[in-house]
Amino acid sequence: MIPKLQLIDVRKSFGSRVVLDGVSIDVADREVVAFVGASGSGKSTLLRCVNLLEPIDDGQVVVDDVDISVPGLPVDPIRRRIGMVFQSFNLFPHMNVLKNLSLAPRKVLGVSRSEAENTARELLERLGLGDRADAYPDQLSGGQQQRVAIARSLAMSPEILLLDEITSALDPELVGEVLDVVRELKGGGMTMLIVTHEMAFAREIADRVCFLHQGQIAEMAPPDKFFSSPENERTRQFLQRVIESGRF
């Protein structure tokens, strides 16, 4: 079976600093892969490379057997198929929730206003935000903002969803409501790449966990194996530090 997404020897540097040093991975349709690792290990850059927010220096990003990383290829049609949710939400502060959700479907897909808003309302309902359609982002809690941001991505019906540390900017008591949404998405069969510091969550939701170290995949395994008997020395040290810091 053809993988939904393939990264083939992806390389990326910022100046002389090598951030991704030959990353290769196949992600199957409906699979959830969690990326963990120390800060600066290249996790976030990896996600940004998948939807071409960062152009890659070398290698290939392949979706449905089509290389989308060919230099010069129009990027907008690709990005609309790959949703991304950011650590800092990146909602549009001058638009209410409904406009945040309906802007891209209307302008990019050419959906009519009423249709886009209907879809948006359904999504908000599903994510428990049915009563916040008219609110502005700064009137919402962090957890609500992040759920709106997820809904905004979903409004484009993406085939792949990239979640970049989506709970890192949240107060601890707000993390749960956002993770619940991700659980629901997994139930619906969404293909997801998740960068996270929530080890318990990675263990629960991921089909595979990837440990990135200095721009390379140091270890990749199903969560049970990854967390209980990691093979790589670096992974063991990383998990040890996480446990000592009380985060797992």
Q: Binding residues for other proteins, per CB under 8 A?
A: 51, 53, 76-77, 79-80, 82-84, 86, 88, 90-94, 103-104, 107-108, 138, 140-142, 145, 149, 152-153, 156, 169
**Residue 164 vs 198, nearer CB to other proteins:** 164
| C-alpha to C-alpha distances, 180 to 115, 143, 152, 186, 223, nearest whole angstrom | 27, 11, 17, 10, 19
**Residue 74 vs 187, nearer CB to other proteins:** 74
**Residue 74 vs 246, nearer CB to other proteins:** 74
In the bound complex, what is the minimum distance in angstroms from residue 9's beta carbon to other proteins? 24
CA-wise closest residue to 59 among 30, 28, 18, 2: 18
In the bound complex, what is the minimum distance in angstroms from residue 108's beta carbon to other proteins? 4
* C-alpha 20 chain-centroid distance: 17
In the bound complex, what is the minimum distance in angstroms from residue 208's beta carbon to other proteins? 24
In the bound complex, what is the minimum distance in angstroms from residue 45's beta carbon to other proteins? 13
Contact 170, 142 (CB under 8 A): yes
In the bound complex, what is the minimum distance in angstroms from residue 77's beta carbon to other proteins? 7
**Residue 149 vs 205, nearer CB to other proteins:** 149
CA-wise closest residue to 189 among 165, 226, 158: 158
**Residue 154 vs 217, nearer CB to other proteins:** 154
In the bound complex, what is the minimum distance in angstroms from residue 78's beta carbon to other proteins? 8
Contact 27, 217 (CB under 8 A): no
**Residue 4 vs 152, nearer CB to other proteins:** 152
Tokens of 211: 């440990």
CA-wise closest residue to 225 among 211, 212, 214: 211
The CA angle 110-116-122, to the nearest 5 degrees, is 150
Residues 82, 207, 163, 134, Cα dihedral to 10°: 90
